[in-house]
Structures are given as C-alpha cells and as structure tokens.
Amino acid sequence: MDQTSYRTLDAGGIREFLAGLPAIATRLGGVPEQWQVHEVSDGNLNNVFLVTGPAGEVCLKQSLPHVRVDPSWKMPLDRTYFEAAWLAAIGPLVGELTTEYLHFDPELYVLVVESLSGHTVLRTALMQGADWPEVAPRIGTFVARACFGTSLLARPFEDVFDARRIFAANQALTRITLDLVFDDPYRDHPRNHWHDPALSPIVQDIRTSAAALLAVENLRRRFLSQPQALLHGDLHTGSIMSTADDTRVIDGEFALYGPIGFDCGMFVGNLVLHFFATPDLAARQAVLRDIASFWHSFHEQFMALWNANDAPPPGTLRPLAYGPAAHVVQQAFMDEVMADTIGFAAIEIIRRLIGYAHTADFDTITDPRLRATCRAGALAFAYYVLDHLADMRTIADFLSCLGENERKGI
Amino acid sequence: MDQTSYRTLDAGGIREFLAGLPAIATRLGGVPEQWQVHEVSDGNLNNVFLVTGPAGEVCLKQSLPHVRVDPSWKMPLDRTYFEAAWLAAIGPLVGELTTEYLHFDPELYVLVVESLSGHTVLRTALMQGADWPEVAPRIGTFVARACFGTSLLARPFEDVFDARRIFAANQALTRITLDLVFDDPYRDHPRNHWHDPALSPIVQDIRTSAAALLAVENLRRRFLSQPQALLHGDLHTGSIMSTADDTRVIDGEFALYGPIGFDCGMFVGNLVLHFFATPDLAARQAVLRDIASFWHSFHEQFMALWNANDAPPPGTLRPLAYGPAAHVVQQAFMDEVMADTIGFAAIEIIRRLIGYAHTADFDTITDPRLRATCRAGALAFAYYVLDHLADMRTIADFLSCLGENERKGI
C-alpha cells in the first residue's frame, strides 16, 4: 500500500478532504467552512473525528503510524483498510447493527462512516447504570448473522478462501491480540500491570496451573487455526455504541477469520467483568440475564439461518446427511462454539485484569479494598473456569458458576 | 497472472525456452539441437517432458488450460505456480525427499525440476511386486518435516499466515479435491463410475448410513477449516517416485494449508488399496508393515522436531506449560492427526473405487470375479472404518481391522 502521500489530517485537512467527496459533502450540507470538526478519539489506536455540517454529520477515522496512546509503539497504517474491508463484508449481513460505510481512502488510510447521535459506548452506559435488556440479544443477532454469513455454511469455499486471504494480512493487529491476550498475562512482561496486591497470588496460581495453561495453549491454537468465520476480533463493551433502542457494533479493525466463540467470548467476558465491577445485586442479576439472552439470541439466529429451508444456504458445507443426523452435526458445531465462548471469556477476563488493557468498569468503585476484592473475585472466577473447562459445557453451567459468586456476595 | 504470452510448448519450443536459461543450458550441456525432448505425461493434468542433453537431464512441466485427459474440462494455468511455491517452501525442509527446484516461468507456467533416473512411480513399482521396506518410513519423514516446518509450531504466525494467503488462492485444484473426494462419491454424479455390480449395494449402504455421511461431513469441514500445515494435497502412491534406496515426493500442485492427517490419510488409503489389490499374502503383510512403519516414522520425526531442546522451534505456538503438561498437548495433537489419518484414508479408498479416479492397482488381477471381490472388500473395509471411526483411535486398531480381512483371505 502506498504510504508516500500519507499525512495526518488536522481539522483543516479533514474539511479539505471531505470537500472532495461529493456524496459526503452533500450529506454534510453548506460549505466546508461551516463544518465543525470535533475530535472524539477514545480507543488506543486511531484518530477519530465527528464532522458536523448544517445538514448532517459523519464520523472520520484515520490510522496513525503508531499506537495513539503510545507514539513509541510503531504500527502499520493499514488497520483502517481492514476495518473498511470488514464493514463492507458484514454490513450487508447485519444491516443496522453496525454503522453505514461511506468511504475509504487507501492513501490517507481514512475511513468515513455514518456518525451516531445519542449513542453511548456500552461500557460507559453500563458504568452509568443503564439497564437495556435488548442490547445483549442484539449482539447475539449481530454475531450470528456476521459469522454465519461469512462461513463455509453460507458461502462457496472460494469466497471464504478469498476473504481469508484478505484478513490473513491483518497481522499487526492479530499480533497485538496474540501477545496481549494469549501470551503476556501468562509470564512476566513489562506490559502487564495490576495495582491490587490481592491479585498477585491468583496470578501465581494461574501461571503454575497445568490445567489453566493447557487451556490457554488450546485456545491460542484455536484462535490461529480455526478460521470458521469473519470475526470482529475485539468485541468488548467498548466496541459497541448503543441507546436503549438502537445498538451498533463498531471498530472492526481487528477483524480476522477465526473461531466464532472468540467473538462470543470477548463479549461475555466483558459482561462478566462488569458483573464483578458492580456490587449492586440487581445490576448483577441484569448481567446474568444479559449473558443468557445473548447466547440464546445467538444460538437461535444462527440455527435459523442454517435451517432456512425455503432458501437453503449455498455454502460448500451443504449437508450430506439429512434428518436427525443433520441435527447431530449442528449440535456438535454449537457445542464447540459454546466451549470456545467459555474459554475465550475466561482469558479475556484475565488479560483485562492483569495485562496491558485497563478495564474502566472497576473505576466506579471508590473504596480501594472493595475494588480489590471485586477484581480478585473476577480473576479467581476466570481461573476457576479455565481450570474446570471440561465441566462447563452449557451457558447454564457457566451462569450457575457465576451466580455462586453472586450469592456469596463477592 | 499474465496469460497473454502463454503458449503450449512443443519440443522445439522447449529447446528454445531452456536455451534462454543459462544455468539449465549448462546442466544439459552441448547445444540445444542435441537435446532430446521426450514426453512422459502421466497424470491427468499437465504436460511433462524429460529433456536430455550430453551432460545432464531436467524435467519440464507445463500447465495446460484444461485437464490433459479431458480438454473440455477447462482449468486455470496457475497450478504449476502453486507447485513451484510448494517446492520452494518444503524443499529446504525435506532435502532429498523431493526433487530439486530449478526454475519457474510465470508467463508460460513452466516448472523445471531435477529429473529422476532409475526411479519408478511407487504405484507401478508396487504393482510390479517391488518390496522396498524403506519407502514408507521415508514418506513418514517427508510428511513430518514438511508439515512441522510449515506449521505454527515451527514458525511465527506471520510467516504461516503469509503462506496460507498464497495457497488459499489454489482454488481450482482444491475445488477438484472437494468435488471428487468429498462430494461426488456420496451422491449420483456422472463423474462417478464403477464396473463391478458387486460394489453397488455397498455404495447404497454408504450413502444411506448416517454415521458414514456424518464422518464425511466432518472430514470435509476439517479439510477446509484446519490449516495446520502446508500439505502436499494429493499424496497417493502415484505422487511418489522411488528406487529401493531413494524416494522422492513429486507433483505438489494440489498444495494447500490443511489438516496434517489429510496427507497421511491419502498415503495410507492408497497402501490399503494396494493391500486389497494384491491377493498375495506375503505382499499383504508387507503393506501392513509399511502402514505401521510410515506412521511410526512420521510420529517419531514429528515429535523429535517438536522436542528439539537444543534448538527450540521458534513457532508462535511455543509451550506455556512444561513438563508432563506439555506431553498432554502433544499427545492430544497426535491423536487428532491419527483420527484424521484414519478418516481421510477411508474416504480416499472410497473415491478411488467409485469416483472419477481410476485405481490401476486392481488391473493386475485378471480374473474379473476375483477383481470384483477384491474391490468390494476394499470398499466394505472403508465403509466399516467410517462407520466405526470412534472405535479406531490408534494405528494398531486400524491395522488390526485390516488384518481381519487378511486372515479372512478376502
């Protein structure tokens, strides 16, 4: 990709750039001098701006040649390219569960999408006490549609292999996931950090537990070697913008072909983190409800797409066996996704407590001792799950284990 | 890839082409007019020539825009490109277990490799009664080195993803495997054919057995979704040239990233076919020995590479757990390869008896009734294996089941 004409856009540069795109200029209305450019960069990686004109608003995202929050950590520019490719691939499958794709510039690595108004980052909304029961099932629908529709169940293998070829080049961000999620937390590394000494003995337990480490090895291998579907790749509660009525998955720059349970597990893991970060019992019950309704919705939608008899999916993996036998295949497939979901949820919890990423949810707890207890509870739960993966085969097993903590008031 | 300057080379064109490659011209010696061009096309797909000069000989392979044996079956030219890429990737890993790569021309789709003298196609040698005990273990070594060295166990994931990107484009030949191996035999299709009516009831049994069809579905899914290593992709006894002392794997044009057990299973399946095609009991015992020694050699070499403590492999899948726990991971990995090997062997046997490919081994049996009985025995065995995959977990289970046939004299 040509990087010679790349430059980081400031407000003036953004106005000039968008003025050259007639459809977007029309959407904004008025003249460029009237357009308000407002920086809203929030994630770790990119510059993000809202551009508001008399008639409308767009969101503009530009890759930087380094991690936004750490300029010494160099990074290739192509991550907005992969986000654009992800959005182009899944947009038609998920409809209004993501943002509308408007433009991508391959020299400036600028992606322009629909802006969202009135939406809040889901993590923030949860921290503010929002209780939106429809959000989790919407995410279930999102994962079901995006994953089914990009899998060998729905598409000829040639299409899937072509898509795998595109996203197998998304290596800088896959390397980040690999290091931060699957590696650093399980050894001494300067990127790790945790403030509460109460976590240290649990960290030691995890790092010396053969069962836990074998589970992590297995999940890491599956992450890199089970290209079932096009994943979002970073589906935590910060990658979701929502109101009570409208939910959008954003920030697909980590997209890769991988195991479907990775997306499910990221989402579930972050709900579990919120569970432990909120000592309020009603709020905890709401999280249990959300995890159950997410999985139920995902499962139902995925199976509905698979069994669409009026228009059977034209995927290469068409059934050879019919009747009860076909049900066996589907059950085994979903059991595997469930097992992955639980495992990936556990390692997501671990890395967000002891690795590089900070988990804001716990910041709402002002009492340091209570905060430490809550974090230690989350870490101990994740360790327990990794250590007992073979016993946790259904979402009910997982929720029952989580509910134990709730009843104990940890 | 540019196809504008493509033309099919005849003897004169081959001399002119090689004369333009100084290293190869030197290898051949003399002047182009002295070079003998001898067509030896044998497989279904490409033109193959031996070119002999006063000083040496090379083998030249050119893709045709159609299947060689069926000009109405159109085919992209890039298959020699993938064979060249395969040879470049695995040559350094397997050394003299394949042919030396000399040149690839991306416009003519011509691949030039070392020629082999005195070597016989292994299938032919077996049919002629050759008993070369060292060949099967050499193939085990070949698969172990090629697969380990191209896997995430040996290489950083970035290298593996780059290689997957190359071979995920080898879609025309992957489509052939998918259709001929995993699909056609399990339904009515004009490409299927079998001459012996004795096979028909077994075909019907297979096509109505839920267990067999589910096994095929599972293997097909694994073929497309388990990119463990760079496979040969068509490792039957016709893709091996050998003498008693020197064995080479050739014809890697079907190369793809897939489950290691696919290569193992193709080879084992073709040995089993030879087992059933040779009513001679000593020859059958030799096949049982060869299957055991192939697996033993593969397993031993693969584990030796994995456990090379003096120079630990720099793969992304480095162990997190050590000691006995690491052994658990390795055991589980090899068990999975074993299960795949047995399953893929069974479907290879089936497709070579009732699908498009003809299996020459049985042609040596002159009595039509005996030939039909032998073919039916092979097909019934493969069906039994597919139907009892869960009970066949070791090579000993598989050989014991095969030996039952031997003792019954089928």
CB B410 within 8 A of CB B384: no
CB B48 within 8 A of CB B41: yes
> Taking all residues of chain A, what is their mean pLDDT, rounded to a whole number?
93
> Taking all residues of chain B, what is their mean pLDDT, rounded to a whole number?
93
Count of beta carbons in the 10 Å neighbourhood of residue A241:
21
* Mean pLDDT value of segment B2-30: 92
**DSSP character at residue A106:** T
Does position A408 have pLDDT exceeding 70, yes or no?
no
Query: Which class in CATH covers the domain with range A11-114?
Result: alpha beta
C-alpha distances (whole Å) from A148 to each of A157, A299, B39 are 13, 11, 49
The CATH code of domain B120-408 reads 3.90.1200.10
Q: Is A282 on the interface with B (CB under 8 A)?
A: no
Give the mutation candidate from B159, B176, B181, B214 for the A interface (greatest A CB count, under 10 A): B214
Percent of chain A with pLDDT over 90: 85
Q: Is A325 on the interface with B (CB under 8 A)?
A: yes
CB A168 within 8 A of CB B165: yes
User: Would you call A325 and B213 a contact, using CB atoms and an 8 Å cutoff?
Assistant: yes
Alpha-carbon dihedral B312, B315, B319, B325, rounded to 10 degrees: -80
- Longest alpha-carbon distance in chain B: 65
What is the pLDDT at residue A407?
56
Return the structure tokens found at A208.
């010396």
CB-nearest partner of A165 from B152, B160, B165: B165
Distance from A91 to chain B by nearest Cα, in Å? 24
pLDDT digits (tens, 9 = 90+) for B95-149: 999 999 999 999 999 999 999 988 999 999 999 999 999 999 999 999 999 999 9
C-alpha distances (whole Å) from B142 to each of A186, B88, B94, B333, B370 are 35, 15, 6, 18, 35
Give the mutation candidate from B161, B187, B226 for the A interface (greatest A CB count, under 10 A): B161
Q: Which H or E element spans position B329?
A: helix B324-354
- Searching chain B, which residue's CA lies closest to the CA of residue A324? B210
Please report, in angstroms and rounded to a whole number, the separation of the first and last CA atoms in chain A. Answer: 51
Q: What's the burial of B312, exposed, middle or buried (CB within 10 Å: 0-12/13-18/19+)?
A: exposed
pLDDT digits (tens, 9 = 90+) for B44-76: 788 999 999 999 999 999 999 988 888 888 888
A153 contacts: CB under 8 Å, gap ≥ 6: A305, A306, A313, A315, A317
pLDDT digits (tens, 9 = 90+) for A3-22: 568 999 999 999 999 999 99
CB-nearest partner of B227 from A187, A227, A328: A227
A4 contacts: CB under 8 Å, gap ≥ 6: none
In this prediction, residue B311 has a pLDDT band, given cuts at 50, 70 and 90, of: confident
A390 contacts: CB under 8 Å, gap ≥ 6: none
What is the pLDDT at residue A406?
58
- What is the layout of strands, in order, in the sheet containing B247-249? B120-121, B240-242, B247-249
Does position B3 have pLDDT exceeding 90, yes or no?
no
CB A152 within 8 A of CB B223: no
> Which chain B residues touch A174 with a CB distance below 8 Å?
157, 161
C-alpha distances (whole Å) from A97 to each of A42, A146, B144, B153 are 20, 10, 46, 38
Amino acid identity of residue A232, one-letter, is: H
CB B84 within 8 A of CB B112: no
Give the mutation candidate from B82, B147, B155, B157 for the A interface (greatest A CB count, under 10 A): B157
Q: Is B257 on the interface with A (CB under 8 A)?
A: no
What is the pLDDT at residue B45?
80
**DSSP character at residue B321:** S
Does position A410 have pLDDT exceeding 80, yes or no?
no
Does position B391 have pLDDT exceeding 60, yes or no?
yes
In this prediction, residue A358 has a pLDDT band, given cuts at 50, 70 and 90, of: confident
Does position A381 have pLDDT exceeding 80, yes or no?
yes
Alpha-carbon dihedral B268, B272, B274, B279, rounded to 10 degrees: 150
pLDDT digits (tens, 9 = 90+) for B349-369: 999 999 998 899 999 999 999
> Which chain B residues touch A218 with a CB distance below 8 Å?
329
> Which chain A residues touch B315 with a CB distance below 8 Å?
none
- Longest alpha-carbon distance in chain A: 65
What is the pLDDT at residue A1?
45
In this prediction, residue B407 has a pLDDT band, given cuts at 50, 70 and 90, of: low
Distance from A154 to chain B by nearest Cα, in Å? 13
Domain ranges of chain B: 11-114, 120-408
What is the pLDDT at residue A332?
93
Does position A260 have pLDDT exceeding 60, yes or no?
yes
In this prediction, residue A325 has a pLDDT band, given cuts at 50, 70 and 90, of: confident
CB B209 within 8 A of CB B387: yes
Q: Is A323 on the interface with B (CB under 8 A)?
A: yes
- Searching chain B, which residue's CA lies closest to the CA of residue A222? B226
Give the mutation candidate from A78, A147, A316, A333 for the B interface (greatest B CB count, under 10 A): A316
CB-nearest partner of A214 from B169, B225, B325: B325
Distance from A208 to chain B by nearest Cα, in Å? 8
C-alpha distances (whole Å) from B110 to each of A410, B61, B69 are 69, 6, 19
